[in-house]
Amino acid sequence: MPELPSNILTALTNVPHSPDVARAFLQPLDLAPGEKPPWNPGGAESGNAIALQYWPETIQDSRASEWAPKNIPGGSHPLYQWTHGGERRLSFTAIFSTDTAPGKTTIPGLGPDDPYVAQALNPLSGIEKGVRDIDLRAVVSWLRWFTYPYYDPESNWKAYEPPKCLLVCPSMGLGYNGGDSVTTVMTQCDVTYEACFEDGFPRLIEVALEFAEVVQSGKNVRFHGRGDISEGGWARNIARYLSVKANE
């Protein structure tokens, strides 16, 4: 048998550390009085945030501004008068996948609704819950939760609107004032089941999500002005990169 290289141990153990990859996440806002998300019924508010499994490949961000034309007799052009700001919509397709087929058995008292609970207790199962192995049924239920109203049995089944959704994409600066968060309502949640395991358990799904930015928070309304962009937005830095030189 040929002798192994003297540095074999170093070669096997010298694994570079992978940097933490940023993850976008959603956090519910303005829930009904006393309401708790089903995934965090008794925990701290920070536990309400749930991350997307993968960073979206593309994010579409559209913003309109409404100007009304006023025709002038004999004028070469109409005069335009600004009437109001238009909608801002953000949309992307979120992909979720699971590598491992779920177990056939559950363990009493350890989460019978979790299809991976038994396998996760086996250190040799290879399960990577939350990274590579996810119950995609839970993903769909979580996202669709943002589109439904809440009927409160304690107040004669009063209807409350769907919760608002804080969309956070670290370091992207999606906020109009330079922040990384946008307060939105979810306006679209279309699921495509791309693949399933033999027993029908979802293996790969794509979810087309669309959000509309809102200025309501609780009982308050705060319109967005360009003064906020001047003070805190990224526009103040653009001259460092694209300013026109005198000889151009």
Q: Is the dihedral of CA 131, 136, 137, 142 positive or negative?
A: positive
Where in the chain does DSSP place strands (E)? 25-29, 50-51, 59-70, 79-97, 150-152, 158-160, 164-168, 181-196, 202-213, 216-217, 220-221
Residue 231 burial (C-beta neighbours within 10 Å; 0-12, 13-18, 19+): exposed
- Most confident of the ranges 1-5, 54-58, 226-230: 54-58
* Distance of alpha carbon 21 from alpha carbon 171, whole angstroms: 12
- Mean of pLDDT values over 199-214: 95
Whether residue 115 is predicted with pLDDT greater than 80 in this model: the reply is no
Domain assignments of the chain as residue spans, ordered by start = 20-70+80-98+134-242
Percentage of the chain lying above the pLDDT 70 cut: 82
d(CA 226, CA 203): 45
d(CA 98, CA 107): 21
105-127 burial code (b ≥16 CB/10 A, e <16) = ebeeeeeeebbbbbbbeeeeeeb
- What does the mean pLDDT of the chain come to? 85
- Across the range 14-43, mean pLDDT stands at 82
**Is 209 buried (19+), middle (13-18) or exposed (0-12) by CB count in 10 A?**
buried
CB-CB neighbours of 13 under 10 Å:
7
Name the band, by pLDDT with cuts 50, 70 and 90, for residue 100.
confident
Please give the angle made by the CA atoms of 87, 92 and 96, to the nearest 5 degrees.
145
Q: Could you report the per-residue pLDDT of 44-53, keeping only the tens digit for each?
A: 777 899 999 9
Whole-angstrom distance, CA of residue 104 vs CA of residue 96: 22
Assign 183 a pLDDT band (cuts: 50, 70, 90). Answer: very high
pLDDT of residue 114: 75
Beta-carbon contacts of residue 194 (< 8 Å; ≥ 6 apart): 203, 204, 205, 206
DSSP reduced 3-state for 76: coil
Are 146 and 28 a contacting pair, CB within 8 Å? yes
> What's residue 14's pLDDT?
53
pLDDT of 18: 52
pTM to 2 decimal places: 0.82
Question: What residues pair up with 133 in beta bridges, in sequence order?
Answer: 129
The confidence score (pLDDT) of residue 29 equals 95
Contact predicate 71/108, CB 8 Å: no
For 244, phi and psi rounded to 5 degrees?
-80, 125
CA-to-CA distance for 113 and 135, rounded, in angstroms? 10
Query: What's the average model confidence in pLDDT over 78-91?
Result: 96
Q: Among residues of the chain, what percentage have pLDDT more than 90? A: 56
Cβ atoms of 219 and 213 within 8 Å: the answer is: no
CA distance 239 to 162: 41
Say what the pLDDT of residue 1 is.
Answer: 47
Average pLDDT over residues 172-184: 93
